[in-house]
Structure 1
Amino acid sequence: MTATILDGALDRLRESGPERVGWLSNHAPMAVEALARAGYGHRVHQWIDGYADRLEERPRGIARIAPDEWRDPLGDPVRTGDWLDLFEREVRAVPWREVLSRWWPRLLPGIAAGATHGVIRVGHAVRALREAETPARVTELGQGLAYWAARWQPLAPVGAGPYRSTDPRAALDAVPRVPDQRFGIRHRLAQLADLPQWPETAGAIPDAGPGTTAARLAAVVRAAAERHGSYGYGNPVMLVHAVTAPNAVKRVLPALPESMWPASLAAAWAAAAAVTAAYAPAEPRPLPQPRSDLTIAELADRAEAIGDPHAIKYADAVADVLAAMPDPALLAAAARSVDELAD
C-alpha cells in the first residue's frame, strides 16, 4: 500500500463526520483503506469524489468529556463532537497502542455500535497503523474510537455454557431468528432479549478444536463468510457485517495484550450471531458452482468496479479468509454476493 495515497485520503476525510442523515455510517475511511490495501490506490481519490455527497461536516462538541467522566456520555450520539475532541486529545498525548488498550475493554461490550461500524472502522485503522504509523492513521484511529463510543450499544445479555458445536458454521446455523424482521437493526437487536435461546447461543462460543484465540476467531469469520453465500440474499448489505465485524476484531488482536483476546473473541462471536439473528432468511439458497478460473484479485476487481463500500469491505474480508485457506466454493459464492451488493 502506498502510504502517501492512503494518508492523503484520510487527511481529506478528516473533517467529515462519522455519520450522515442522523444515523447512516460514513463508510469512506474504511473503504479507502480497503481499496488502497487491495492495490487500488490510484482509484482512491476518484472513489471519494463519487462518495462526496454522502459526507457531512464533523459535528461540533457541546462540553468537554473529562478522562474520568467517560461513562455517562458513553453511547450518547448527541455527544459525538465531544467524543471526537476527547480522542483527538488522547491520541496526541500517548502512543496509539496505549489508547487502544485503555479503551478496547471499555468499548467492546458495546460492539453493536453503529450497526457494528464502530468496531469495523477501528479494525481498518489498526490494520493501517500496524503497516505504518503516520499522523493521518493515528487520527483515523481516534475518530473510529470516538464513533464507537458515541454509538456504543450493548447486545442483549449472553450466557455461558457448553459449546453448541465444534463447528462455527453449524453454530451460526443454530442461531435463532428474531421474529419481526420488518424494520432497522435497532428494532431487530432489541428483540434478542426476548429470544429464549439467545443467551445460550451467544454465550457458547464455537470451538473449532485445539488452537489459539486468533485461530478460533478466524474460524468464526470463515463460517460467516461461507454462510453469506447461502443466506446473504435475505439482506446482502446488513449480513455483510456478520463477516466484517468479527474480522475487524481479528485485525485488532495483534495490537492488544493477550489478556484481552478471550473477551474479544466472545464479543466478535456475539456480534456475528446477532447480525445473523437479525437478518438471516429462514432458508438457504443453492450455492453457485465453484470456478477454477476465479481469483481473489478478480473478486477485488468486481468490488472496485461496483464501488459500493459494503462490496469493497466484504471482498476485503473474504480476501483475508481465502489468503489463509483457499476455497474455490467460497470464492464463487463471494463473487455472487459482491455482485448483489451493487447499488
Structure 2
Amino acid sequence: MDTTGILDEALQRLHACGPERLGRLTNHAPMAVEALAARGQARAVHRWLDRYARKLEDLPPRVEPVTAANWRAALGDPRRAADWIGHFERELAEHPWREVLARWWPRLLPGLYGGSTHPVIRVGHAVRTLLAGEADPTGPRQTELAHGLGYWAARHRPLTVPARPPGAATAAAALDAVAPVAVQDGGFPDRLDRVTALPLWTAAEAAGPQEAYGRLTELVRAATHRYAAYGHGEETMLVHAATAPNAVLRALPALPRDLWPASLRAAWTACAAVTAMYAPAAPVPCAPPGDVTPEEVFERALAHGDEHVIKLADTALDVGDAPALAAALRAVELSAPPG
C-alpha cells in the first residue's frame, strides 16, 4: 500500500476529469497511477501523470440525477456518466464501500463489455487500493470507486452469445479453442457484435464459490501467458484479455462468495471475446525473460510509459512466473512508446 499520500493526490487531480476523451477513448490515468503506486513507484506518479495530462478532458455535463426510481433507464447511457458518478458518490457517502459494491456488482456484471472492458478494470484497481487500506479508507480512494462504478454503469453493454460449443477443461486449452471472428476490423463495439460463438470452459461452468477463485486465477495466468505468443495480433487490445479477468479477480475478496461463480463466468466470456476479436492466426515464439526480476520488468514498463504496457506488467507481477514476465516484456517490445 502507498502510504506517501501521492496516490491520493493523483486521484484528486483526476477526479475533475471525465472517464473518456473524444467521446470514446478511455481515460487510463487512474488505473495506471494506482498500478505505479502499488508497485513501489509512487515517486513516478506525478511525472507520468504530467505527460498524460494532454489526454484528459473535463467531466461531461450532468443531465439528471440517477435515483433508485430511474437508474434502469440510465443504465448504458454514456451521456449520463457524470450523473452516475454523482449517484455513486452519494451512495458511498451513506453506506460502506463493500456494501455498495456488493449491491451493484450483480447489476453491472452482465454489462462489463462496455467501454472495451475498461470500466471493470478501473473498478478492480480501485478495489485493490481500498482493500490495501481498509482500516482507514481515504476519501480520494472511495471517490475513485465511485468514478469506476459510474463509468461502468454509463457504458454498461451486455453480450449475448447464442452458440456455446464445447471447450476444454483447462483455461489455456479453452482459450486455444476460441475461434477468431470472421472479420477483424473496426473498433471494439463493431467487433463485439461479430462474436456469435464462444466455447464453454467446462471447469468454469461447474465451479461453485469454493472453486471460483482458483479457476479465475488460472484464467488470468493463462491469458497473461498467451499474450507473449499472440500479442502481435493487436498489442494494445489483447492486453485486456488478461487485465479484465484480473480486475474481476481483484474484486472477489471484497464480494460475497455467492457472487463469485457468476463473476468467473463473466470474466471467462470477456477474456474469450477479446481473444476472438483480436487474436492472430498463428503464434510467434517468445523468448524467455532471462535473468530479470519482477521489479526490473515493471521498471522497464514504466520507462516505456504506455498505460497498457504498465497495466499488463502489473497483472504479470500478480501472476509472478517467468512466462508472465515474458509477456510483459513482449508488450514493451510490441507497443509504440507514447508520443
TM-score band, normalised by shorter chain = over 0.9
Is contact 1:113-1:154 (8 Å) kept?
A: yes
Superposition CA RMSD, Å = 1.8
Q: Which amino acid aligns with 1:282?
A: A
Assess, with a 3 A threshold, how the Cα gap between structure 1 residues 21 and 221 changes in structure 2: closer, same or farther.
Answer: same
Question: What is aligned with 1:247?
Answer: 246
Query: Cα deviations across residues 71-97 of structure 1 (Å, max 9, x unaligned)?
Result: 111101011121111111111111111
Give the fraction of aligned pairs with identical amino acids, expressed as a percent. Answer: 52
Is contact 1:244-1:313 (8 Å) kept?
A: yes
Counterpart Cα distance in 1 of 2:29 and 2:129: 14
| TM-score of the pair, normalised by structure 1 | 0.92
Assess, with a 3 A threshold, how the Cα gap between structure 1 residues 154 and 45 changes in structure 2: closer, same or farther.
Answer: same
Counterpart Cα distance in 1 of 2:89 and 2:174: 40
Question: What is aligned with 1:340?
Answer: 334
> By how many angstroms is 1:152 displaced?
0.5
Question: What is aligned with 2:146?
Answer: 142
Indicate which of 187, 191, 195 corresponds to 1:188: 191
> By how many angstroms is 1:339 displaced?
2.6
| Unaligned runs of at least 5 residues, structure 2 | none
For structure 1, which segment, 209-218 or 31-40, has the greater mean C-alpha deviation from structure 2 after superposition? 209-218
Question: What is aligned with 1:288?
Answer: 287
Q: Which amino acid aligns with 1:337?
A: A
Q: Within 5 A, what are the aligned runs for 1:270-285? A: 270-285=269-284
> By how many angstroms is 1:207 displaced?
7.7
Q: Within 5 A, what are the aligned runs for 1:158-173? A: 164-173=167-176
Assess, with a 3 A threshold, how the Cα gap between structure 1 residues 235 and 53 changes in structure 2: closer, same or farther.
Answer: same
Counterpart Cα distance in 2 of 1:333 and 1:91: 37
Is contact 2:204-2:212 (8 Å) kept?
A: no
Assess, with a 3 A threshold, how the Cα gap between structure 1 residues 295 and 342 changes in structure 2: closer, same or farther.
Answer: farther
Q: Which amino acid aligns with 2:330?
A: R
Question: What is aligned with 1:218?
Answer: 217
Query: Cα deviations across residues 37-93 of structure 1 (Å, max 9, x unaligned)?
Result: 111101101111001100000112111111132111110101112111111111111
Counterpart Cα distance in 2 of 1:89 and 1:219: 36
Is contact 1:161-1:204 (8 Å) kept?
A: no
Counterpart Cα distance in 1 of 2:268 and 2:256: 19
Counterpart Cα distance in 1 of 2:81 and 2:202: 34
Counterpart Cα distance in 1 of 2:53 and 2:274: 28
Is contact 1:241-1:272 (8 Å) kept?
A: yes
Query: Cα deviations across residues 179-235 of structure 1 (Å, max 9, x unaligned)?
Result: 111111111000113xxx43xx15745589997211100000011011101110010
Counterpart Cα distance in 2 of 1:229 and 1:207: 27
SS at match of 2:224: helix
| Unaligned runs of at least 5 residues, structure 1 | none
Q: Which amino acid aligns with 1:2?
A: D
Is contact 1:124-1:248 (8 Å) kept?
A: yes
Is contact 2:286-2:330 (8 Å) kept?
A: no
> By how many angstroms is 1:289 displaced?
3.6
Q: Which amino acid aligns with 1:110?
A: G
Q: Which amino acid aligns with 1:169?
A: A
Query: Cα deviations across residues 267-323 of structure 1 (Å, max 9, x unaligned)?
Result: 0000000000000011111121451x111111101110011110110000010011x
Assess, with a 3 A threshold, how the Cα gap between structure 1 residues 329 and 100 changes in structure 2: closer, same or farther.
Answer: closer
SS at match of 1:283: coil
Question: What is aligned with 1:308?
Answer: 306
Counterpart Cα distance in 2 of 1:158 and 1:243: 24
Assess, with a 3 A threshold, how the Cα gap between structure 1 residues 257 and 206 changes in structure 2: closer, same or farther.
Answer: closer
Question: What is aligned with 2:181?
Answer: 178
Indicate which of 147, 150, 156 corresponds to 1:152: 156
Q: Within 5 A, what are the aligned runs for 1:17-28? A: 17-28=18-29
Is contact 2:168-2:201 (8 Å) kept?
A: no
Question: What is aligned with 2:128?
Answer: 127
Is contact 2:59-2:82 (8 Å) kept?
A: yes
Assess, with a 3 A threshold, how the Cα gap between structure 1 residues 71 and 290 changes in structure 2: closer, same or farther.
Answer: same
Counterpart Cα distance in 2 of 1:151 and 1:213: 26
> By how many angstroms is 1:335 displaced?
1.0
For structure 1, which segment, 64-73 or 91-100, has the greater mean C-alpha deviation from structure 2 after superposition? 64-73
Counterpart Cα distance in 2 of 1:146 and 1:71: 13
Counterpart Cα distance in 2 of 1:335 and 1:61: 42
Assess, with a 3 A threshold, how the Cα gap between structure 1 residues 317 and 204 changes in structure 2: closer, same or farther.
Answer: same
SS at match of 2:40: coil
Question: What is aligned with 1:95?
Answer: 96
